[in-house]
């Protein structure tokens, strides 16, 4: 992978900045906000790996997030399993969901994949209420034991998880695998005519995307020490998609920036008091209107001076 | 000599429309065959049937003795039967080199070392080596045609189906492309099946022509014979009596 030096330096500078933030601020609250930002970063970049690169939009990323979060919480609260087991089992549960949704729908042309992901997440959210004996219904599962006791250590752990996720997905996206995903986005029939099994590549990419989203879901559950049906919500899925659009679709690193920016925005707008949501929406509309190709990635490209 | 491709009683209906009716023919290795026919004769449908993009209602297609019935498009390409599209279908947002690299990653050719090197060599072969790093979005139409052929060549086909390769090309672009197709046939021993409306170009290239109309093969023969065949003339110009009737 050849990355311009400026891009390397930029990435390291961003990493150093977030690594040093805890030295400047003493606010436990702000550390918590940033921890959630990193988790959103994992969700956004994992969405981008499948949907951004292939152009097949997943409207139910929350399905994978919720599957991860609920699996970890369920095992932890019912069977008192060591919380670290939550990470692999949560990822596995998300992968299973990815296979169930992806295999029947990604072979078809048309809107079936988008509709199926949307519906699957809604069904999962409903199920948490139907099977309330196991999922705790509307209340969810509270009182989880923490993965890491110290908030500061957890901050660094989530930052590390985001960095690993981003690097792994970036390497994949810049490899021949990524070329094929972008070709699928360009023209599926032409891909088939070039001898590529497009269903295979789309399904495996969805599974990879789901695995990382599931890990993010586990991290979120362990941050809140509780899960609620909201982790399956449409609002969460759409929020993640907006973060990717603002970051720059198909770039992997852009959505990380978009996620951190949009997750921080409500905090930055505190001065507006009760008009906060209003201003937030306005800012969002302006970004989407004036930067349809995204905000973060195009700016990065301009600075580094590359096309991609 | 055993046939490279054997098609028997192939048929396809779209509702009440017959797109292919009892189509049977054979292609011998190393042959260049043309398919001729007015618009809507079922030429592109035939290509789509052979390459698995649509499935036939009945009939048999055998390629090197393997049945292609029920196989998906990518499986057929990996057996060595590649095609180009009538309207160029480049992967937008990607460079010329990346476009060809995609086809170099097909399982049939993937094991070979140096995917990028192979892609460059193929681009050299079709005369696009100076434009490898250019985004295909800004490529002129003539170059897109070459790219389309390069992508098919990258899968190392034994049989290449060309769907109107000269359509939309300017006068200056046709001659080099003709030379390219001749070169591929001479150097690689490629078997080629070509759909083309431009009769002059088609007749220069092929040794045998299959004429189609309304989904049926109406005549098969050498280029000189086929253009004089009364059934072919009728398909193109209309029935002589009806012409008189109008007059």
pLDDT score at A272: 86
CA distance linking residue A184 with residue A112, whole number of Å: 16
Q: Which residue of A has its CA nearest to B109?
A: A195
B83 - beta bridge partners? Answer: B161
- Beta carbons of B103 and A185 less than 8 Å apart: no
- Beta carbons of A179 and B82 less than 8 Å apart: no
CA distance linking residue A123 with residue A115, whole number of Å: 12
Residues of chain B neighbouring A194 (CB-CB closer than 8 A):
77, 102-103, 106, 151-152, 154-155
CA distance linking residue B49 with residue B47, whole number of Å: 5
Instruction: Give alpha helix (H) positions in B89-129.
Output: 96-104, 107-110, 115-125
Domains of chain A with CATH codes: 5-304 (1.10.3470)
User: And the tokens for A289?
Assistant: 């209107």
For the stretch A166-217, pLDDT in tens is: 999 999 999 999 999 999 999 999 999 999 999 999 999 999 999 999 999 9
What are the backbone angles phi and psi of residue B145, rounded to the nearest 5°?
-60, -45
How confident is the prediction along chain A (308 residues), in pLDDT tens digits per residue?
567 888 889 899 999 999 999 999 888 999 999 999 999 999 999 999 999 999 999 999 999 999 999 999 999 998 988 999 999 999 999 999 999 999 999 988 888 999 999 999 999 999 999 999 889 988 999 988 899 989 999 999 999 999 999 999 999 999 999 999 999 999 999 999 999 999 999 999 999 999 999 999 999 999 999 999 999 999 999 999 999 999 999 999 999 999 999 999 988 888 888 888 888 889 889 988 888 888 889 888 888 877 65
Q: Note the residue count of chain A.
A: 308
Spatial CA neighbour of B66 closest among B193, B159, B190, B189: B159
Spatial CA neighbour of B148 closest among B172, B181, B190, B175: B181
Identify which of A179, A186, A195 has the shortest CB distance to residue B106.
Answer: A195
CA distance linking residue A179 with residue B101, whole number of Å: 8
The nearest CA of chain B is from the CA of A181 a distance in Å of 10
pLDDT score at B245: 39
- Beta carbons of B106 and A182 less than 8 Å apart: no
Q: Is the CB of residue B155 less than 8 Å from the CB of residue B148? A: no
């Amino acid at each position: 992978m050849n990355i311009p030096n400026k891009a390397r330096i930029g990435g390291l500078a961003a990493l150093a900045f977030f690594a040093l933030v805890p030295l400047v601020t003493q606010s436990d609250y702000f550390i918590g906000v940033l921890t959630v930002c990193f988790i959103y970063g994992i969700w956004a970049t994992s969405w981008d790996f499948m949907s951004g690169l292939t152009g097949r939009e997943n409207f139910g990323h929350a399905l994978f997030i919720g599957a991860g979060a609920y699996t970890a919480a369920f095992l932890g609260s019912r069977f008192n399993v060591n919380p670290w087991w939550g990470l692999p089992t949560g990822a596995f549960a998300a992968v299973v969901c990815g296979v169930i949704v992806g295999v029947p729908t990604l072979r078809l042309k048309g809107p079936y994949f988008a509709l199926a992901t949307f519906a699957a997440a809604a069904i999962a959210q409903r199920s948490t209420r139907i099977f309330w004996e196991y999922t705790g219904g509307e209340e969810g599962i509270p009182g989880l034991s923490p993965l890491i006791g110290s908030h500061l250590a957890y901050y660094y752990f989530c930052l590390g998880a985001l960095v690993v996720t981003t690097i792994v997905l970036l390497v994949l996206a810049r490899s021949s695998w990524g070329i094929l995903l972008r070709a699928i986005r360009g023209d599926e029939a032409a891909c088939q005519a070039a001898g590529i099994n497009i269903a295979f590549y789309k399904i495996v990419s969805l599974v990879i995307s789901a695995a990382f989203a599931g890990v993010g879901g586990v991290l979120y559950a362990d941050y809140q020490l509780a899960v609620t049906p909201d982790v399956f919500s449409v609002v969460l899925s759409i929020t993640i998609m907006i973060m990717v659009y603002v970051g720059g679709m198909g770039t992997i690193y852009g959505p990380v920036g978009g996620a951190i920016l949009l997750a921080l925005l409500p905090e930055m707008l505190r001065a507006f008091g009760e008009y906060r949501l209003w201003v937030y929406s306005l800012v969002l509309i302006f970004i989407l209107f004036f930067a349809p190709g995204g905000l973060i990635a195009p700016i990065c490209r301009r600075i580094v001076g590359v096309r991609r | 000599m055993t046939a490279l491709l054997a098609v028997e009683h192939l048929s396809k209906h779209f509702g009440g429309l017959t797109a292919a009716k009892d189509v049977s023919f054979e292609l011998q290795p190393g042959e260049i065959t043309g398919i001729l026919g007015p618009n809507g004769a079922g030429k592109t449908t035939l290509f789509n049937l052979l390459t698995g993009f649509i499935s036939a209602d009945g009939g048999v297609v055998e390629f090197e003795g393997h049945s292609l019935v029920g196989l998906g498009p990518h499986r057929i390409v990996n057996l060595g039967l590649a095609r180009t599209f009538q309207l160029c279908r480049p992967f937008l947002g990607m460079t010329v080199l990346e476009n060809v690299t995609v086809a170099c990653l097909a399982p049939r050719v993937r094991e070979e070392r140096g995917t990028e090197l192979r892609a460059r060599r193929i681009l050299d072969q079709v005369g696009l080596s100076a434009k490898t790093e250019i985004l295909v979005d800004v490529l002129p139409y003539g170059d897109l045609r070459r790219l389309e052929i390069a992508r098919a060549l990258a899968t190392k086909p034994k049989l290449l189906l060309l769907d109107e390769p000269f359509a939309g090309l300017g006068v200056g672009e046709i001659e080099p492309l003709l030379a390219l197709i001749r070169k591929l046939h001479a150097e690689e021993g490629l078997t080629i099946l070509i759909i083309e409306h431009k009769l002059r170009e088609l007749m220069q290239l092929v040794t045998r022509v299959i004429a189609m109309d309304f989904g049926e093969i109406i005549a098969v023969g050498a280029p000189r014979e086929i253009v004089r065949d009364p059934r072919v003339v009728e398909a193109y110009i209309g029935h002589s009596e009806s012409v008189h009737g109008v007059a």
